[in-house]
Structure 1
Amino acid sequence: MREVLAAAHDWHLRRIPFGLATVVASSAGSITGPGDLLAVDPTGDVRGGIPAGCVESAVLDAAAETLRTGRARLARYPVGDDGPWPARPGCAGIIEVLLRRVTADHLTARSLAALAGPDPVAVATVVGGPAPFAAELILGRDRTEGTLGAADLDGWAADQAAELPAGAAVRRYGHRPGVRVLFQVAPAAPQMLLFGATAVAAALARIGADLGYRVVVCDPRPAFATVARMPDAHEVHRAWPHRMLAATPVTPDTVLCLLGHDPRYEIPLLRAALTTPAGYLAVLGSRATHEARLAHLRADGVPEAQLARLRAPAGLDLGGRRPVETALAIAAEVVAWRHGGTGRPLSGLTGPIHAARSSDLPAAAAR
């Protein structure tokens, strides 16, 4: 999704129209779900994709056609059974896709920019029923833009958006058939705080940004704490880490990693970090180095319950040594922590590969 939003922003700045396909609902397995995006510009440059590869080419063709005609519509793709698109076992169903042409002056361009921004926002879009088709309402923390066509519908959408979790889902307003509304809800981007502007930090910043984190890198060394060295970080600070952390809001979804090996700030930073509610708190270094850290922190009176929060050495055991491999190991552990994964090979597990995704299309609707 980040790739599509970044491309949409670039096309918007250059006033290039594009075709946009948004998955509204799916009962065809769990890999495709509401909110998946595919976009194509007039040259055929494609960004994003529909994870259900069996219909991806058809969706691309439809998005390109919508770019040419400008006619917004809802397309339905029956997968498996008697439909034209074959399905793997367990993936039969129907995929619904909203197709729109987006221009620089279109409200959709501003809604995509809002979804890509750092602030919490919800975008409501009419996808069916007695209301203007594809009408949009942007519900931000400090502003509202657009309308779904009626004040009562807008008020209901605002109430729904306030209760929905992050992600995308369809809700109905009124008795069936009612008005079907697609909600895309983006909370404030969680923070990834990286202390130590190392090669591992540069690689992890890139991965963290792709995972949807707002990445902040901090290092007191002027030669290392530069935007040129950390191009994918949203912020780069030259400061003492423990002092910067004291002025930074930290929440339970914050990722905090100590990636440097500077004894001047390591212990003060860890003492400060262990008093925060950061959900993921990790440190690079050997086991012997970490034991020395723990001894120092115990001597400073840090309770064992707090010390137990430290993940050290940081990351999953992937066997790599290069900076990018170390960053990948840390990112893998972050993803497992964030989504409740085991970190074990899928080949050794049973049951569904992916957790079920929200959809208003019951499985029975596909038959």
Structure 2
Amino acid sequence: MLNIAATLSRWCRNRCPFAVATVTTATGSTPLPVGTSMAVDADGRVAGSISGGCVDGAVHDLCHRLLAENGTPEHARFDSSDDDAWAAGLMCGGSITVYVQRIHPDDQDHLAIALASAADEQPVTLVQIIEAADPLLARRILPLLEPGTPLPCPPVPARLAAAATAVQRGGVSSLVRSPAGPGCASVSALVHTRRPAPDMLIFGAVEFADALSQAGRFLGYHVTVCDARPVFATKDRFPHAHRVVTDWPHRFLAAATTDERTAVCVLTHDTKFDIPLLRDALQRDIGYIGAMGSRRTHERRLELLRAQGVSPDALKRLNSPIGLDVGAATPQETAVSITAEILARTRGRPGTPLADTSGPIHPRALAAAPTS
């Protein structure tokens, strides 16, 4: 659902009823993960896609009928082994289950607030109740909030909240179930979650940085461009960056918070900037570290980093010359080359053409969070 938060937020503000269809299970070869949603409003306008196009027509019809009939929620399964599913277009060999629900914003005021936060790229977790005996919970979409946060909605049940919190920490939307217990009915819910955007730190206010900041933002990174030269490090030159900083690169990195999802791209081509920065970056648990330059520049860089005491194992983490070999020439093409390498490295893939590989095309989703 968070994939179409901006549109749903607007429909909620305008008090427009809509039907939303969400993938609750996905097995085999499926293009989009659990939690992906498609919605249809009363005028037939569509937001999102749940299958990359192949079953969207059938899902649109389900949503339109549910809206017209003011119907109860439905589950629909599309499987390539079924003739009907082939007719609907699911030819990829996988299987998906879709939950279709009618929503009127007047019934869930809190939803507009949560979706507006998601549309503003804020981290949000929504608990969409799929099955519940309690009429106060049935068909609700509840934000997972810190205890004591005021919002006009019932709280997520404690046992379900624990499972939702586990999904939130993992950052991958999942279906969870809280089994029945003494005084408690079972509840099933789809937990939609989005972690804060990972950071892309681009060092060097050069033309390549402008194209890379645009590509990084498109991929969902929070992009910072840093350069020690104030005449070059300006927001006008890098309109796609979330932040443009004038500082020495190594000094900026020293104060920055990084993690295993951070991408560091060094485009400065100047050893007085590169070496202190790379020395410090290679000591951190950073998901991707790349540096631009020729092969000769790379060899010289390695010599200087060894002289700074950087270990051989740490040097293996340096992607230099930066990017995959796709024949890139322009800054825009180079940005594609770099971001393709970032995806491959951070996801543990070799960057091999799919035609030369076997096995699953799409990365496996994490298993549903356990409940206690």
Is the structural similarity TM-score above 0.5? yes
Between Structure 1 and Structure 2, how many residues are aligned? 357
Distance change >3 Å, CA 141–CA 290, structure 1 → 2? farther
Judge conservation of contact 1:55–1:77 (CA < 8 Å) in 2.
no
Equivalent residue for 1:137? 142
Equivalent residue, structure 1, for 2:25: 26
Kindly provide the CA deviation profile for residues 178-229 of structure 1, in whole angstroms up to 9, marking residues without a partner as x.
3211101222322111111223222222222232221111122334322233
In the other structure, the counterpart of 1:38 is 38
User: Is the partner of 1:26 in helix, strand or coil?
Assistant: strand
For the pair 1:172 / 2:180, whether they are aligned, the reply is: no
Answer yes or no: is the 8 Å Cα contact 2:3–2:37 preserved in 1.
no
Asked if structure 2 preserves the Cα contact closer than 8 Å seen for 1:72 and 1:101, the reply is no
| Alpha-carbon distance between aligned partners in 1 of 2:7 and 2:233, rounded to the nearest angstrom | 28
- Alignment-mate amino acid for residue 240 of structure 1: W
Deviation at 1:144, TM superposition (A): 4.4
Residues 102 and 14 (structure 1 numbering): CA distance in 2 closer, same or farther, change over 3 Å?
Answer: closer
> Residue 201 of structure 1 corresponds to which residue in structure 2?
209
1:120-162 deviation line (CA, Å, top 9, x unaligned): 542211122313333233224687465875x6x5212321122
Tell whether the 8 Å contact from 1:137 to 1:154 is kept in structure 2 after alignment. no
Alignment correspondent of 1:269 = 277
Residues of 2 paired with 1:259 and 1:228: CA distance? Answer: 19
8 Å contact from structure 1 (residues 135, 147) kept in 2: no
Cα deviation for residue 327 of structure 1 reads 0.9
1:123 and 2:131 are equivalent in the alignment? no
Identity %: 35
Q: Secondary structure at the match of 1:252?
A: coil
Shift of the 27–246 alpha-carbon distance from structure 1 to 2, 3 Å rule, reads closer
Q: Which piece of structure 1 moves more, 270-279 or 176-185?
A: 176-185
Which residue in the other structure is 1:363 paired with?
none
Seen in structure 2, the aligned counterparts of structure 1 residues 241 and 359 have a Cα distance that, compared at 3 Å, is closer
In 2, Cα distance between equivalents of 1:339 and 1:7: 30
Secondary structure at the aligned position of 2:208 is classed as: helix
Deviation at 1:252, TM superposition (A): 2.1
Superposition map of 1:347-362 within 5 A: 347-357=355-365
Instruction: Determine the C-alpha separation between the residues in 2 that align with 1:218 and 1:56.
Output: 43
Among 192, 202, 226, the alignment partner of 2:234 is 226
SS of the equivalent of 1:53 reads coil
- The 5 Å alignment of 1:46-61 reads 46-61=46-61
Shift of 1:300: 2.8
1:273-326 alpha-carbon deviations (Å, 9 max, x no partner): 223221211101111011111222223333333222211011111111111111
On the 8 A contact 1:71/1:100 being kept in 2, the answer is no
Q: Take 1:126 and 1:2, find their aligned partners in 2: how far apart are those partners?
A: 15
In structure 2, what residue type is equivalent to 1:33?
A: P
TM-aligned CA distance change 1:113 to 1:15, over 3 Å = same
| Amino acid aligned to 1:162 | T
Relative to 1, partners in 2 of residues 1:157 and 1:239: Cα closer, same or farther, differing over 3 Å?
same
Q: Tell me the SS of whatever aligns to 1:218.
A: strand
Report if aligned partners of 1:252, 1:279 keep a CA contact under 8 Å in 2.
yes
Looking at structure 2, the residues matched to 317 and 7 of structure 1 have their Cα atoms a distance apart, in angstroms, of 38
* Aligned mates of 2:77, 2:226 — CA distance in 1: 48
Alpha-carbon RMSD across the aligned residues, in angstroms, is 3.4
Q: What are the ranges of 5 or more consecutive residues in structure 2 without an aligned counterpart?
A: none
Deviates most, 258-267 or 40-49: 40-49
In 2, are the aligned partners of 1:120 and 1:141 still within 8 Å (CA)?
no
The answer as to 2:159 corresponding to 1:160 is no
Give the aligned partner of residue 336 of structure 1. Answer: 344
- Structure 1: runs of 5 or more not aligned: 361-367
- Equivalent in 247, 250, 262 of residue 255 of structure 2: 247
Rounded Cα–Cα distance in structure 2 between residues aligned with 1:201 and 1:148: 45
Q: Distance in 2 between matches of 1:301 and 1:200?
A: 30
Aligned with 1:122: secondary structure?
strand
Change (3 A) 1:41 1:98: closer
Q: Contact 1:22–1:34 (CA<8 Å) still a contact in 2?
A: no
Maintained 8 Å contact 1:136/1:147 = no
Task: Report if aligned partners of 1:70, 1:100 keep a CA contact under 8 Å in 2.
Answer: no
SS in 2 for 1:290: helix
Letter in 2 for 1:87: L
**CA separation in 2, counterparts of 1:213 and 1:41?**
30
CA contact (8 A) 2:111 2:142 kept: no
Structure 1 residue 243 displacement after superposition: 1.4
Give yes or no for contact 1:200–1:326 (8 Å, CA) kept in 2: yes
User: Which 10-residue stretch deviates more, 78-87 or 293-302?
Assistant: 78-87
TM-score (normalizing by structure 2): 0.82
Give the counterpart letter for 2:116 in structure 1: A
